[in-house]
Amino acid sequence: MKKIAIAVLCSGGGTNFQAIYNAYEAGLLPHGEIVLLLSDHAEAFALERAKRVGVRTAVVDRNEVPDREERERRFLRILRESGAGLVVLAGFMTILSPLFLSEYEGRVLNIHPALLPSFGGKGYYGLHVHEAVLNAGVKVTGATVHFVTAECDAGPIVAQKAVEVREGDTPLSLQKRVMREAEWVIFPEAVEQICKKMSGEER
């Protein structure tokens, strides 16, 4: 069976990386193999998570390389060396340029902590998304896995899962529930779905 090499890009704690790796370890990612964890923050805990499970790590720190174009050139060099066929953004806090996306067109997946197209686009990231959801008074939120395109949070949707907004929710409590009930569920499933399709074994 052909396995697709997966590179995961993270800026922070790496909980979605962990969810994908756990699925891989459990045999739920038969068409994929995680070959790299790449971060733009040298202190990102995601790097520690990857090292613990033996996944290769690399860093292009945004403080050491403040120029975005130069950072992306280095990202691309590292990704080429890793042989990655699929790039997965798991809490990666930099919007990628058309230059980067042209090289991996149709092969970059992202998770967004809301039901796109609602609460998406520039400025909607992390707790800001959950604050906006609560301020809007909606009763249902969730998470979306989508392909990354040049327009922020506007690429084709791969998977979505709804999560109830509860009375008394705070941005933090909502963030945790969306992660647990939606992100960590649909992201590994979507990664396997796309790897299977890329391997030529689409259902």
Q: Which residues of the chain have pLDDT under 50?
A: none
**Domain map (residue ranges) of the chain:** 4-198
Please report the pLDDT score of residue 202 as a whole number.
60
Instruction: Indicate the class that CATH gives domain 4-198.
Output: alpha beta
Query: Closest Cα partner for 166 from 183, 185, 187, 181?
Result: 181
Angle of helix 45-52 relative to helix 15-25, nearest 10 degrees, comes to 20
Annotation marks residue 112 as catalytic: yes
Q: How far apart are CA 158 and CA 142, in angstroms?
A: 14
The structure tokens listed for 107 are 């092969």
Sequence-distant (≥ 6) Cβ neighbours of residue 11 within 8 angstroms: 39, 40, 41, 44, 46, 91, 92, 93, 94
Please report the pLDDT score of residue 94 as a whole number.
86
Q: How far apart are CA 56 and CA 47, in angstroms?
A: 9
Torsion angles phi and psi, residue 158, rounded to 5: -100, -45
Instruction: Kindly name the residue from 112, 128, 130, 146 that is annotated as catalytic.
Output: 112
Model's pTM, two decimal places?
0.94
Sequence-distant (≥ 6) Cβ neighbours of residue 59 within 8 angstroms: 38, 39, 40, 41, 42, 44, 47
